[in-house]
Structure 1
Amino acid sequence: MHSSLKIVQFLQRIESTKKLPSKVLSRASSSKSRIPSNLSRKYIPNADEMKEVFKMIDKDRDNKISVKDLQKVLTELRGKDMAEEAEKMVNAADSDRDGCINFKEFMEVHNNGGGIRLLEIETAFSLCDLDGDRRINAKDLEGLLKRLGKERSPEDCERMVCNVARDGKGEVDMDDFIIMMTKTMHLQSG
């Protein structure tokens, strides 16, 4: 749908992630194996997790995402008014033309074209990396959560990042991010 929404998915995941098991970590590929041919890989999202992402965006809890709901989340993430972008996104996804995105339409968008592309996940990583150092640290996470009105203590943010980071330094690199974001998705075959 939009890489900003992948950030919402990231926040939902990082808040609920326990330390990644070594089985999941062993699926990691080196950075060199990802570029550029693997950027077209597609992952089928987990419907249960996508329900949680949908709920985070559906601010008024009416089981549909309105332009206002989406605008609020996008504006919080980007730090600027995203009304025009939100309207375009809702119009593109609203197949029944009721002015909102229901869960079925939300999933159709995320499954459109065979699923979520690795390039979209990498773009979301870049948007989460607030200081541009190609790593997501506790300060980046704290800033993202604060933008969304979900303030957490620096200690909580450090714990969440450490649960995902494999480097032992408390920083999530691109490989860690991809592993976390795809751990419950299925790689599209073919």
Structure 2
Amino acid sequence: MWTPNRLTLAWPIKGDKQEQITELTFKPLTRASHIKALEGDDPKERVIFEKLATLSCGLSASEFTRLALPDCNSIKRIISDYVSLSTPEMYKRAGKEFNKNSPQLLVPITGDNGDIINHIDLKIPTVQVSDIMDSLPEKDRNDYITQDVTGLSQTELNRLATQDWNYTQERISDFLQQTADYFQDEILK
């Protein structure tokens, strides 16, 4: 269902190869690329945003600095949506239905076996899975529970678009925190 965002720059810039850049096309950001952008010693929002914009629309760091601030603000809005929204919101914006227990991925991924994965069947974790998760070091818990609930490997999780990753985290949070009555409508279907 992925439809790339396009942005026509109000103030075109010269590219590093002296070409005129008048429009940007935004690729989806993956969980791995998002993590990579957050790495490093400089936690400044502007630096992180520049990394994300470079990954998504292909601008070099020097091209990014030539952007007019209003164009930069437009890019920031698009990138912010990419990293903060989840798949159901993107489906809602497109006027499409979304199945929260077997979500269609916004951006299909290639599985470790070479097959295309375009949806995930989420499973509710058991008490045993929760106990194992709690026994792990803090840094490993989220990946463990996400792999269990989604059936995806670590490398497959890293290929998920940020919106798809965000949705799995929302749903896992529901599974870990909500009571059974929260899920009654789903159980009755």
Please indicate, yes or no, whether the TM-score normalized by the shorter chain is above 0.5: no
Q: Which has the larger radius of gyration?
A: 2
Q: Hey, which of these two has a bigger chunk of helix by percent?
A: 1
Q: Hey, which of these two has a bigger chunk of strand by percent?
A: 2
Structure 2 length as normaliser, TM-score?
A: 0.23
User: Which one has more relative contact order, counting CA pairs under 8 Å at least 6 apart?
Assistant: 1
